[in-house]
């Protein structure tokens, strides 16, 4: 039979019932995503390619807005309201060095990539061809965002050594939606 070992010998630390003071985060893993985003030079690429997307000079920089959206996606967010959860996380704010944007600010930022005229034109062309769905031409802002994506791919490719390799994964996930607005 095993000898009885006092609990303090098994765990060489004392559990303090007082909560830690300071900022804590359940999303500290997003620091790694942020580091990759920044190490690829994407904040600077966003500033260079997306300059003029914002209507006002105050608020977050373009790179910070895009980084926040990347972090939201990595955290499993599926709507703009989920950004408010990231915004309320004091620990994440300290990790990033800025407070993530409010969901309303995210909506305003994303609206800058939208062009109702291009969508209407695509719908007219689809209707003329008896198609049920349409894909509008990309806006100038989306083209510029594509340049940021190209920058990330180039940076990742130049960082590879002869011993390393990369996998490009194209996700064809179908997400069903019951909403009328989801075309």
What is the rounded average pLDDT of the residues 165-171? 66
Q: Of the candidates 85, 77, 88, 72, which has an alpha carbon nearest to the alpha carbon of residue 23?
A: 88
Half-sphere exposure of 21 (CA within 13 A, CB side): 0
pLDDT for the residue 103: 92
pLDDT at 132: 87
Question: Which tokens go with 182?
Answer: 């989801």
State residue 117's pLDDT score: 92
Q: Determine the pLDDT at residue 183.
A: 58
Q: What residues does each domain of the chain span?
A: 30-154
Let me know: does 42 contact 35? Beta carbons within 8 Å.
Answer: no
How far, in whole angstroms, is CA 79 from its chain's centroid? Answer: 11
Across the chain, mean pLDDT equals 82
Sign of the CA dihedral with 140 first, then 141, 145, and 151 last: positive
Q: What is the pTM of this model?
A: 0.72
* Span 169-179, pLDDT tens digits: 666 666 666 76
């Amino acid at each position: 039979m095993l000898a009885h070992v006092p609990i303090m010998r098994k765990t060489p630390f004392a559990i303090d019932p007082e909560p830690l003071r300071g900022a804590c985060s359940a999303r500290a893993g997003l620091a790694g995503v942020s580091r990759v985003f920044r190490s690829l030079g994407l904040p600077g690429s966003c500033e260079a390619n997306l300059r003029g997307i914002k209507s006002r000079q105050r608020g977050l920089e373009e790179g910070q807005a895009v980084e926040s959206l990347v972090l939201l996606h990595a955290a499993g967010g599926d709507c703009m309201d989920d950004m408010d959860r990231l915004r309320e996380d004091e620990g994440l704010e300290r990790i990033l060095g800025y407070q993530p944007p409010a969901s309303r600010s995210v909506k305003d930022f994303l609206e800058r990539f939208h062009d109702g005229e291009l969508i209407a034109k695509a719908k007219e062309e689809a209707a003329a061809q008896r198609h049920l769905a349409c894909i509008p031409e990309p806006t100038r802002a989306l083209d510029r965002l594509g340049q940021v994506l190209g920058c990330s791919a180039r940076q990742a490719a130049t960082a590879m050594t002869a011993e390393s390799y990369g996998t490009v994964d194209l996700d064809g996930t179908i997400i069903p939606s019951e909403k009328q607005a989801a075309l």
